């Protein structure tokens, strides 16, 4: 039975091979009459960029772990094989010219590149057979490989909740739309599939579902998970983004996502921005009413009418005390609520030109309480999660919770 090799055996073999490579490289330089600087300049022009100090460290033995890319480029440059380069019996005189018929296919670089391109096209066809329009970016700093540790805490099913983009149905709790966002490994990328229950029935009595398919990509620089999806049936894109946090244990509990898509339900469909609540556990109707406001396009200033404020105060004695103290310590301001169409109809009585009316509306908007953007802050995510934790959700996720708490200190 063959004796089992130890780690030190492989390290010794590695040292011997690297010494042989260094010796053969020196022999090749001498046989070609090249200095280190001349070789580096020519290699950089023809093959790959390499500095003279780096090459000098390789030849002197100060640089270990010589890259395969560098070795292949050297073989290509000198017209030899990897076998030649690691051979103790290598004779450089046989390889002074690299354009002879004997050595034209020495390393099969062209064949390797052709095979790489064929494999790439084969993978592309496999993906296209699934009728997926979108394929992940390659050669970028985005993380798209599903085997990356960054994806480990995120590939799962998420229950999705959001308000419909039809104005007539918006902000009614009973009209919240629901669906499933699935993130899973597919070939060499993370496939993203969003399936939405539209709360409508077709002529056969079946529920109408909308489905978008694409991929997920993590941006480690801005800490975001991005889902780029498309529905060929609807001829519609859906872009979904939420905060990314690398999880070492467990799965992501919940997140608030920003969504860019198209409005629904009418003929004049328009670009629409909305928030979507994602949860790995299904949320009950009762609890959904409590966290639903997190799906509003909120900002740090809460604007509320006098009537609504007193309605909240009447919910309980405690709420009444809080509202009373708010009114005492923070003097309220008068807030006016007007529909744009009513303003335009009135303004047209005094302003002759349509452009003048629109400019007046813009002046009102400029002075109104409205942010220039909307973002999902860390606090928004945490507040929603803390409420759901208090309701008994994600109780098994204690390690994840501890990890997040430690990271936020």
Q: How confident is the model at residue 102 (pLDDT cuts 50, 70, 90)?
A: very low
Q: How confident is the model at residue 164 (pLDDT cuts 50, 70, 90)?
A: confident
What pLDDT, in 10s, does the model give residues 274-300? 999 999 999 999 999 999 999 998 777
Structure tokens at 385: 């999660």
> What are the residues whose beta carbons fall under 8 Å from the beta carbon of 170, sequence distance 6 or more?
163, 164
Across 253-264, average pLDDT: 90
Instruction: Break the chain into its structural domains and give their ranges.
Output: 7-107, 133-297
Which stretches does DSSP call E strand in 59-206? Answer: 157-162, 177-186, 189-201
State which H helix or E strand residue 367 sits in: helix 354-367
Going from the C-alpha of 216 to that of each of 51, 134, 196, 234, 346, the distances in angstroms are 38, 10, 18, 20, 48
Across 371-385, average pLDDT: 87
> What are the residues whose beta carbons fall under 8 Å from the beta carbon of 218, sequence distance 6 or more?
142, 143, 144, 148, 150, 151, 224, 225, 226, 244
**What's the farthest any 2 CA atoms get from each other in the chain?**
102
What pLDDT, in 10s, does the model give residues 171-182? 555 689 999 999
The architecture that CATH gives domain 7-107 is: Orthogonal Bundle (1.10)
The architecture that CATH gives domain 133-297 is: Beta Barrel (2.40)
């Amino acid at each position: 039975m063959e004796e089992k090799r130890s780690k030190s055996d492989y390290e010794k073999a590695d040292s011997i091979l690297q010494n042989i490579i260094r010796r053969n490289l020196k022999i090749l330089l001498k046989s070609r009459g090249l200095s280190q600087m001349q070789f580096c300049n020519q290699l950089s022009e023809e093959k790959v960029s390499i500095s003279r100090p780096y090459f000098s460290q390789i030849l002197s033995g100060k640089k270990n772990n010589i890259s395969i890319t560098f070795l292949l480029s050297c073989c290509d440059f000198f017209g030899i094989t990897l076998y030649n380069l690691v051979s103790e019996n290598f004779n450089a005189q046989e390889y002074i010219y690299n354009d002879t018929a004997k050595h034209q296919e020495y390393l099969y670089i062209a064949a390797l590149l052709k095979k790489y391109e064929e494999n790439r096209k084969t993978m592309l066809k496999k993906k296209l057979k699934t009728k997926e329009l979108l394929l992940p970016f390659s050669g970028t700093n985005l993380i798209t490989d599903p085997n990356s540790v960054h994806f480990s805490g995120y590939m799962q099913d998420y229950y999705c909740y959001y308000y419909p983009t039809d104005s007539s149905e918006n902000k009614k709790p009973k009209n919240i739309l629901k669906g499933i966002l699935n993130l899973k490994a597919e070939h060499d990328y993370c496939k993203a599939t969003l399936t939405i229950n539209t709360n409508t029935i077709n002529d056969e009595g079946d529920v109408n579902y909308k489905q978008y398919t694409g991929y997920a990509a993590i941006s480690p620089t801005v800490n975001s998970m991005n889902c780029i999806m498309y529905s060929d049936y609807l001829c519609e894109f859906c872009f979904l983004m939420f905060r990314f946090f690398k999880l070492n244990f467990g799965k992501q509990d919940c997140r608030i996502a920003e969504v860019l898509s198209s409005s629904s339900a009418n003929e004049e469909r328009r670009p629409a921005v909305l928030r979507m609540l994602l949860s790995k556990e299904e949320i009950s109707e009762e609890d959904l009413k409590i966290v639903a406001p997190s799906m509003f396009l909120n900002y740090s200033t809460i604007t509320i009418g006098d009537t609504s404020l007193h309605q909240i105060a009447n919910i309980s004695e405690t709420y009444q005390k809080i509202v009373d103290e708010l009114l005492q310590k923070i003097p309220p301001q008068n807030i006016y609520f007007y529909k744009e169409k009513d303003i335009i109809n009135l303004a047209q009585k005094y302003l002759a030109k349509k452009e003048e009316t629109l400019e007046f509306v813009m002046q009102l908007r400029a002075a109104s309480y409205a942010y220039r953007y909307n973002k999902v802050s860390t606090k928004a995510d945490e507040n929603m999660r803390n409420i759901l934790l208090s309701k008994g959700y994600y109780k098994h996720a204690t390690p994840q919770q501890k990890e997040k708490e430690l990271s936020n200190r």
